[in-house]
């Protein structure tokens, strides 16, 4: 039943093979399969793990155990697993609701901890159950639009959607982190009575668990096994100007010139979608963008990098469709008509899981963009955004969408990372609307998608950004002001915009974007002229009084650049999130685990954004274990207390940790 193979503990019984093995320090990888051999796929666990000391395996008649540093996994005779830390405290245990004659607990429910439901003649639905501690707090899991920081009692779809990023890593206040290493569509439910992980179709169970004393140590160990972001280039730490959408080369250049005329710092300007001749042509429409090289040369003379939108869509009218279809470089339908998205034509998605398809799209992008001077790409629609998200209909190069769909955005980022590094780029950063575990090592800067332009939208991005950081993505941003709607002449939206802008200053990337209404009509009937544009979305578009406020914060961002560079170095070297929950730096402060409306920008800057209409004062909790200086009034306060501070429209409450490496005045 039990045996040791090298440093792995194996149990075979009732047609199941179970394996627990060390995977990095203080960590175990746990796999199970109905069969006699595991699939040859590491998914996100493809970074060679480091092991400082050998593990210890013990086997007796009724159980077996494996110890790797801080963590011990004990497998009972009936196959149930319990994980302990170095203090012999239970971290997590599989769900006990079955009959047995030798254990302390019996149940007639006969509900399995690892439940395999076969598709006749095929693979399995899999549900893995753990006992639930109602007092436990759970964080991470990627980006969800529900507005909660603590994921306990949430049921989360493991599906990639526009504005939803599923990265199934969860961090517990009990001192462990668990990564569900499976890209299948499914869900995770952190219920009061049971925790469940479900895959709608899979061949194998695969998860990773680590035991550490602090959230930072858990996060760093997770980063060691799934990968870390490159070092962010200096220019990316400044201000990014974007809107839906600059329609012509001259319009974009005039905006860049106006920023420079006003003496405003801007690092990146963006050409959004439908600058192309057709979906899947991946090139400028020469009618509206006649001289890309000249445009890029002028932008660079102003110190501005150009970012260009790339979609994974291919129209059936594209000049590349027939070749890609014949070479099997497109996502396929298992049944029905092959149309994946209906938006300005019937389109299909290139198959990012196919190495040949990744090479093909990069060759087109290199010829038509990179070789002309574009070094920054916007990988939009990266989920991909299937119309209706009917995952059972689709099949990738690596298998059915139900089993693999969540990993698509990682491969999309990899296509451009591999191409750009092969071309000589040392510091790759590309904006992506979705990600999976490990996307960060391919230079993915994730943004929160097409979210609502409202205070509620801002509040939802606040918690989403903190949780995706804990899920391993340190580079994250939002559309400042939200994407959907937002009239720059509306006083109510102007207030929301200013508050969002202030929050954006203290985000990993400071980026302005949005649809903005009323729309401007299309300027043509085909190609780059066929889609409308939004209203103006530059910092001077929101009134003269607000302009002075926005200008102040743009220069504050510039002042903070040396500090931001240190944060990006931490992200690169240790995997640390740039924006952090209070408990990340102050885990011994119990109240810090419950604060859901403040955060830390690095270790030394506490930010308490205003996220409600009309709010001009707010309460701020200062974590215990440090003294804090109000960056506005310069007053100094002891930690471990809640204070009330003024927050007029031109002020975001910010506090600086005494003895830290940064100081400024707002």
Cis peptide before 438 (omega within 30 of 0): no
**In which element (H, E) is residue 467 found?**
helix 455-470
**In which element (H, E) is residue 284 found?**
none
Q: Which of 305, 383, 460, 598 is catalytic?
A: 383
CA 7 – CA 79 distance, rounded (Å): 19
DSSP state of 111: -
**SS3 letters across 352-368:** CCCHHHHHHHHHHHHHH
**SS3 letters across 513-581:** CCCCCCCECCCCCCHHHCCCECCCCCHHHHCHHHHHHHHHHHHHHHHCHHHHHHHHHHHHHHCCCCEEC
Give the bridge partners for 73, in sequence order: 66, 83
On whether the CB atoms of residues 447 and 383 are closer than 8 A, the answer is no
Q: Which of 26, 305, 450, 598 is catalytic?
A: 450
On whether the CB atoms of residues 576 and 570 are closer than 8 A, the answer is yes
What is the distance in angstroms between the CA of the first residue and the CA of the last residue of the chain?
66
Cis peptide before 384 (omega within 30 of 0): yes
**In which element (H, E) is residue 91 found?**
strand 90-93
DSSP state of 449: -
On whether the CB atoms of residues 235 and 578 are closer than 8 A, the answer is no
Please state the separation of Cα 512 from the chain's center in Å: 19
CA 30 – CA 16 distance, rounded (Å): 13
Is residue 383 part of the annotated active site? The answer reads yes
Listed residue (623, 588, 604) closest to 175, CA to CA: 588
On whether the CB atoms of residues 562 and 547 are closer than 8 A, the answer is no
Is residue 450 part of the annotated active site? The answer reads yes
Give the bridge partners for 178, in sequence order: 170, 209
On whether the CB atoms of residues 552 and 650 are closer than 8 A, the answer is yes
Listed residue (59, 44, 61, 340) closest to 73, CA to CA: 59
| CA angle (553, 554, 557) in 5-degree steps | 85
- Per the structure block, which two tokens stand in for 306? 């150009």
| CA angle (343, 457, 197) in 5-degree steps | 80
- Per the structure block, which two tokens stand in for 286? 């020469």
On whether the CB atoms of residues 319 and 389 are closer than 8 A, the answer is no
Q: Which of 94, 380, 479, 598 is catalytic?
A: 380
Question: Regarding beta strands 155-158 and 186-190, do their DSSP bridges make them parallel or antiparallel, or are they unpaired?
Answer: antiparallel
**DSSP calls for 473-523:** ---EE--BT-SB---TT-HHHHHHHHHHHHHHHTSSSEEE----SSPBPPS
Would you put residue 255 in left (φ > 0), alpha (ψ -120 to 50) or beta? Answer: alpha
Sign for the CA dihedral angle at 91, 92, 97, 101 comes to: negative
Residues carrying an active site annotation: 380, 383, 450
């Amino acid at each position: 039943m039990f045996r040791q193979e090298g440093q792995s503990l194996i149990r075979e019984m009732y047609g199941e093979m179970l394996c627990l093995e060390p995977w990095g320090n203080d960590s175990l990888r746990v796999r199970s399969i109905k069969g006699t051999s595991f699939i040859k796929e590491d998914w996100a666990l493809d970074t060679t793990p480091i092991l400082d000391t050998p593990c210890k395996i013990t086997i007796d008649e009724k159980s077996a155990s494996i110890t790797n540093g801080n963590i011990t996994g004990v497998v009972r005779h009936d196959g149930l697993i319990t994980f302990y830390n170095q203090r012999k405290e239970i971290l997590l245990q599989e769900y006990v609701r079955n009959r047995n004659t030798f254990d302390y607990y019996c149940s007639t429910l006969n509900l399995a901890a690892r439940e395999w439901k076969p598709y006749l003649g095929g693979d399995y639905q899999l549900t893995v159950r753990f006992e639930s501690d109602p007092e436990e707090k759970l964080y991470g899991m990627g980006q969800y639009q529900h507005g909660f920081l603590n994921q306990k009692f949430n049921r989360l779809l493991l599906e990639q959607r526009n504005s939803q990023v599923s990265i199934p890593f969860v961090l517990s206040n009990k001192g462990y982190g668990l990564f569900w290493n499976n890209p299948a569509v499914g869900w995770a439910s952190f219920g009061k009575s049971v925790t469940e992980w479900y895959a709608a179709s899979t061949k194998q169970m695969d998860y990773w668990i680590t035991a550490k004393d602090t959230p930072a140590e858990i996060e760093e160990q997770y980063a060691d096994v799934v990968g870390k972001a490159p070092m962010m280039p200096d220019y990316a730490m400044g201000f990014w100007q974007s809107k839906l959408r600059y329609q012509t080369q001259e319009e974009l250049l005039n905006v860049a010139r106006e920023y420079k005329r006003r003496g405003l710092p801007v690092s990146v300007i963006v050409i959004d979608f439908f600058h192309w001749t057709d979906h899947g042509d991946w090139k400028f429409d020469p009618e509206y963008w006649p001289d890309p090289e000249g445009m890029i040369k002028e932008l660079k003379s102003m110190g501005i990098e150009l970012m260009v939108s790339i979609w994974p869509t291919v129209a059936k009218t594209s000049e590349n469709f027939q070749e890609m279809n014949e070479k099997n470089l497109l996502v396929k339908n298992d049944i029905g008509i092959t149309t994946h998205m209906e938006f300005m034509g019937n389109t299909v998605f290139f198959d990012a899981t196919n190495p040949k398809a990744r090479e093909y799209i990069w060759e087109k992008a290199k010829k038509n963009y990179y070789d002309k001077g574009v070094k920054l790409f916007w990988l939009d629609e990266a989920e991909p955004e299937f119309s209706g998200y009917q995952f059972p209909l689709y099949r990738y190069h690596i298998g059915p969408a139900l089993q693999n769909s969540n990993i698509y955005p990682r491969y999309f980022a990899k296509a451009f990372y591999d191409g750009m590094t092969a071309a000589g780029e040392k510091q790759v950063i590309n904006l992506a609307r979705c990600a999976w575990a490990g996307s960060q090592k391919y230079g993915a800067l994730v943004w929160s998608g097409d979210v609502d332009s409202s205070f509620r939208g801002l509040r939802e991005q606040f918690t989403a950004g903190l949780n995706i950081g804990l899920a391993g993505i340190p580079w994250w941003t939002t559309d400042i002001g939200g994407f959907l709607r937002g009239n720059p002449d509306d006083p109510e939206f102007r207030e929301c915009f200013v508050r969002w802008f202030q929050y954006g200053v203290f985000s990993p990337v400071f980026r302005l974007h949005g649809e903005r209404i009323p729309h401007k009509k299309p300027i043509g009937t085909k190609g780059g002229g066929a889609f409308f544009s939004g209203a103006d979305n530059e910092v001077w578009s929101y009134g003269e009084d607000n302009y002075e406020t926005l200008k102040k914060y743009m220069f504050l961002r510039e002042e903070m650049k040396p500090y931001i560079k240190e944060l990006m170095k931490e992200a690169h070297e240790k995997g640390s999130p740039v924006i952090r929950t209070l408990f990340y730096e102050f885990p011994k402060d119990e109240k810090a685990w419950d604060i859901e409306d403040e955060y830390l920008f690095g270790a030394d800057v506490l930010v308490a954004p205003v996220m409600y209409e009309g709010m001009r004062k707010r309460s701020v909790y200062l974590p215990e274990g440090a003294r804090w200086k109000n960056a506005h009034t310069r007053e100094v306060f002891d930690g471990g207390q809640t204070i009330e501070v003024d927050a007029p429209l031109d002020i975001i409450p910010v506090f600086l940790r005494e003895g830290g490496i940064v100081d400024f005045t707002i």
